[in-house]
Amino acid sequence: MPLEIASEAADARARCDEARAQGARIAFVPTMGALHLGHLHLVDVAKERSDFVVVSIFVNPTQFGPAEDLDRYPRDLEGDVAKLSARDVQLVFAPSVEAMYAPGARTVVSVKGITDGLCGAHRPGHFDGVATIVAKLFDIVGPCAAVFGRKDYQQLQVVKRLVADLNMPVEIVGVPTIREEDGLAMSSRNAYLSAAERARGLSIPRGLSAAHALYRGGERSARDLRAAVAQLVEKSADRVDYVTVAAPDTLSELSGEIGERALIAVAAQFGRTRLIDNTVLGEDEPPIPGGET
Ligand code: AMP
């Protein structure tokens, strides 16, 4: 079946209604486009779980702060559609800003608590923008399952909370981070990095891998695990927003001894590019297998 493209919410909704009427199970992958292999992996997971895959491509202005990179965020609809077509996706929903936000829109979906730390503390309003657009997209598409990357770990937890709190009948599937060969997490924003900035950006996966090595050696002090990551990243980054050790489900910051599992999440700026990454000790593989030191 050829890929269809909808740019209006009503058209996307009608196509999804039709698919459901024919008995299809819809899986949904929301994206901001400039697709890379990480996104395409989410599409593959969506395909395994459904017979009708919808991918949205929408650079959502309400999740960008005034000083952020909305205007220069990479856009390549034609290239994205070609990649999704090769992946046998059924529907791409690529709306305009006007199609998603009517003039006079006044409704904001706000998930509390879990949005206070990490990126929420550094990007005011970001998760309101994320929760609002995800709620709108889920309402238009009506998926049984939606697939998100663990690369945006806090976003994944926010979406899980949103769906539980609003009784949305959508299974949220979290997929491990896909990385470049050297360990850098794939991101549309990596395209902004100069070669030198990219090399410095590797301090993040190296730091996270160093924490894995310590954890494997028995280290359980939240402070020392954090320090191992921070030491590497602080040496290389132009600005470090946070290096945080937190409970993987509630995202509350951990001190003292960590338990079985602990999230270590990082956000740091390299040149004009802000990179985020994370790993769950006791659960994930290290970003750089065997290359922690
Ligand atoms: P974005 O286009 O950056 O908004 O990302 C769309 C979806 O792709 C989100 O669920 C991201 O978490 C996910 N994603 C982005 N990069 C990766 C990656 N390297 N590995 C896995 N998922 C990713």
Return all residues near 201 (Cβ < 8 A) that are at least 6 apart: 184, 190, 193, 236, 270, 273, 275
The HSE-up count of residue 161 (CA atoms within 13 Å, CB side) is 21
Give 70 Cα–ligand 1 centroid separation in angstroms. Answer: 17
Q: What residue's CA is closest to ligand 1, atom 6?
A: 31
Q: Tell me the CA–centroid distance for residue 44 and ligand 1, in Å.
A: 13
Give the ligand 1 atom nearest the CA of 178: 20
Cα 57 to middle of ligand 1, angstroms: 12
The structure tokens listed for 189 are: 């924003």
Our measurement of the distance from residue 96's CA atom to the centroid of its chain's CA atoms, rounded to an integer in Å, reads 21
| CB 28, CB 135: distance < 8 Å | no
- Ligand 1 centroid, distance to 236 Cα (angstroms): 24
Cβ of 83: how many Cβ atoms within 10 Å? 17
Closest atom of ligand 1 to CA, residue 152:
12
Per-residue pLDDT at 293 exceeds 60: no
Question: Is pLDDT above 60 for 5?
Answer: yes
Q: pLDDT of 38-60, one tens digit each?
A: 999 999 999 999 999 999 999 99
Percent of the chain topping pLDDT 90: 97
Nearest atom (ligand 1) to Cα of 33: 2
Residues with CB under 6 A from ligand 1: 31-32, 38-39, 41-42, 148-149, 151-152, 175, 177-178, 185-188
In the set 36, 39, 41, 212, the catalytic residue is 39
DSSP per-residue letters across 69-94: STTTS---HHHHHHHHHHTT-SEEE-
Is 126 a catalytic site residue?
no
Nearest CA to ligand 1 atom 22: 149
Q: What pLDDT is stored for residue 291 in this prediction?
A: 57
Give the tens place of pLDDT for each residue, 136-161.
Answer: 999 999 999 999 999 999 999 999 99
The 10s digit of each residue's pLDDT in 95-139 is 999 999 999 999 999 999 999 999 999 999 999 999 999 999 999
CA 291 to centroid of ligand 1, rounded, Å:
24
Helices (H), the chain: 9-21, 37-48, 77-86, 97-100, 118-122, 126-141, 153-165, 195-201, 203-216, 222-236
